[in-house]
Structure 1
Amino acid sequence: MADHVVWMRPEAIEEASREVSFLVPMPHVLGSFTWSRPDADEGVDRRARAHVFAYVEGAPVSPEPMIREDPSVDEVWWDDLRRAHDRISEAGWSGPGRSERRVRRWVSSLAGERFADTEIEWIPQHNDFHWQNLLAPKLTVVDWEGFSLAPAGSDAAYLLIYSLTHPPTADRVRDLFSDVLSGESGEMAQVFAAANVLTAVENGFHDDLREPIRDHVKSLLAD
């Protein structure tokens, strides 16, 4: 009997490579390997997958998903970030991600019925758009395991949420993606991202984001 695979979407990296690698600065996939090994304790086969990527120059803007100080990147980097974001959103294909039921449950956990009737536009998103996955001094976007359909504005919203620990950077992100983050759908995307990151906070990660996120959502819903 084979066990369930341990990754959510094993094809996501290949999809991203196929759909956006010629449009977005990202590591090229050189090969992938899948193998199985028996788990005697559970009586099942465990499967694993590894990818080999081309080497890229650069280092993460932050050693963690959130940012605590000025990112020290130039204007070209910011322009490239916006361009990469838009090209990801315009990708011709990506597989399914989180279900609409889960998205709405997370949104309602923070916003009640505020966005109950808001239509969700599903578009390709990176889904892990944070400072540890953005390299500098030349922009490269890494970690494509979550590439899939998601509510429009999710990537910009995630980056904003992970920027709340450094307000000047949060303001820059908010300004850069003002068109994506505004309106009912943009606000819902922010609440969705906030609820998702708060789930990680409750599991012991990024505790310094707890209060900034709650303050941000409170301000957002007060408008």
Structure 2
Amino acid sequence: MSSEPDDPDVTARMRKAHTVACGYLGTVVSSRPSDAGPKEAWGWRGRTLGRPVAGPYGPGWLRVVHSPLDKASGKLWTGPEDAERMVPHQVPRPRLRLVRQWTEGDDAYKAELYDHVTGETVSPTPALVTAAPSLSAAWWSDLRRVMSRLPAISTDRTAVRQAYLDRAMPKYLAFLGGPVPTVPPSWCTAHGDLHWANLTGPDLTILDWEGWGIAPAGYDAAMLHAYSVEVPETAERVRQELSEVLDSEKGCFAELVVITELLQSAERGDNVDLVTGLQRRAKEVWHRMRAAGVSNSSSSVCGSI
């Protein structure tokens, strides 16, 4: 979840589109004063806007997605619908009930009506920046269970491409001072955007299934850890709870992949506060990988650093 766009024209356009979507799907925006959740949730740079609504399936969440008309296709456009068809309901996620698409000139819009999710996101932003969240042992157990089920889901969707790794990892990890491996030990299905603003508590629900697909094994665990580096207590908890993945060769490689992506995003002005911590973590992981031998399938390479 991101902040309201800086561009007032984008804000006005998306709020208007949300009103149009309500008309299409027979919903009305609902304040639900007893609900502690957000009343308006923005996606990156105003690409999406979600609000609580009341509609044909009772309380729900209506999200509107915008895309230039010539780019209204591909994995980000179809991700939630693909997840509804292919991701088992044992993976806790909001049920997608209705979808409606329309165009206005050169703009394409999609309205997605989800079941209402109780609770709140663990953080209003992807990265933790101040305090460690209070999460129960049951919450962590549920997360581990989900992360053991996701890799087995069969899909032809792609979250991370080998061509990207070959191009980006040598560039953004050049500060490590040596050749960086770019081919992961293995690939498997991942959520693809597992950060703190896409996880709810006190009961675990995983939001935002736009970008799910095949990624380097360990990718989800690595992403959650990367978004925790500014809160050492939580970073340590992530390493403890997800040690089976993060302590392995595949987990170490996945951390370097995620760090590459976030360092690249910092060039656009995103995640700037994480850069120092991410670079420090990359050096620690890289040194341990080299000490263990990056070509070895070690079951314990990174450890609790």
> Structure 1: which 5+ runs fail to align?
40-45
Does structure 1 residue 106 correspond to structure 2 residue 172? no
Q: How does 1:1-223 map to 2 (within 5 A)?
A: 3-6=69-72, 8-9=74-75, 10-39=77-106, 46-67=107-128, 68-109=130-171, 110=173, 112-116=178-182, 118-223=183-288
Please report how far the alpha carbon of residue 14 of structure 1 lies from its aligned counterpart in structure 2 after TM superposition. 1.5
1:21 Cα deviation after fit? 4.1
The verdict on how the C-alpha distance between 1:198 and 1:88 changes in structure 2, with shifts beyond 3 A counting, is same
Question: Which of the pair has the greater relative contact order for Cα pairs under 8 Å at 6+ separation?
Answer: 1
Shift of 1:20: 2.0
Secondary structure at the residue paired with 2:70? coil
CA shift digits 1:139-162 (9 cap, x unpaired)? 110011011111111100000000
1:106 to partner: Cα distance: 2.5
Looking at structure 2, the residues matched to 21 and 52 of structure 1 have their Cα atoms a distance apart, in angstroms, of 19
- What CA distance in whole angstroms lies between the structure 2 residues aligned with 1:106 and 1:160? 20
* One-letter amino acid matched to 1:57: T
Instruction: Give yes or no for contact 1:14–1:29 (8 Å, CA) kept in 2.
Output: yes
Alpha-carbon distance, 1:80 to partner? 0.6
Q: CA RMSD in A?
A: 1.8
- Larger of the two Rg values belongs to structure: 2
**C-alpha distance in 1 between matches for 2:143 and 2:221:** 10
Q: What is the distance in 1 between the residues matched to 2:134 and 2:273?
A: 21
Any idea what the Cα deviations from partners look like across 1:176-212, whole Å, max 9, x if unmatched? 2222123332211100001111122221122211100
Corresponding residue of 2:36? none
1:97 deviation in Å? 2.8
What TM-score comes out, normalization by structure 1 length?
0.89
Is the contact between residue 133 and residue 143 of structure 1 (CA under 8 Å) also seen in structure 2? Answer: yes
Q: Does the Cα contact within 8 Å between 2:94 and 2:117 map onto a contact in 1?
A: yes
Amino acid across the alignment from 1:71 = P
Q: State percent identity of aligned pairs.
A: 33
SS class of match (2:164): helix
Shift of residue 7, structure 1, vs aligned partner? 5.6
Paired residues of 2:216 and 2:254 also in contact (CA < 8 A): yes
* Per-residue Cα deviation, 1:48-107 (whole angstroms, up to 9, x for no partner): 222110111010111111113121111100101111122222213251233211023222
Question: Residues 185 and 108 from structure 1, CA distance in 2 versus in 1: closer, same or farther, beyond 3 angstroms?
Answer: farther
| TM superposition shift of 1:31 | 1.0
TM-score (norm: length of structure 2): 0.66
Query: Aligned pairs, how many?
Result: 215
Q: 1:7 to 1:72 in 2, by over 3 A?
A: farther
CA distance 1:183–1:131, change in 2 (3 Å): same
Q: Output the amino acid matched with 1:4.
A: D
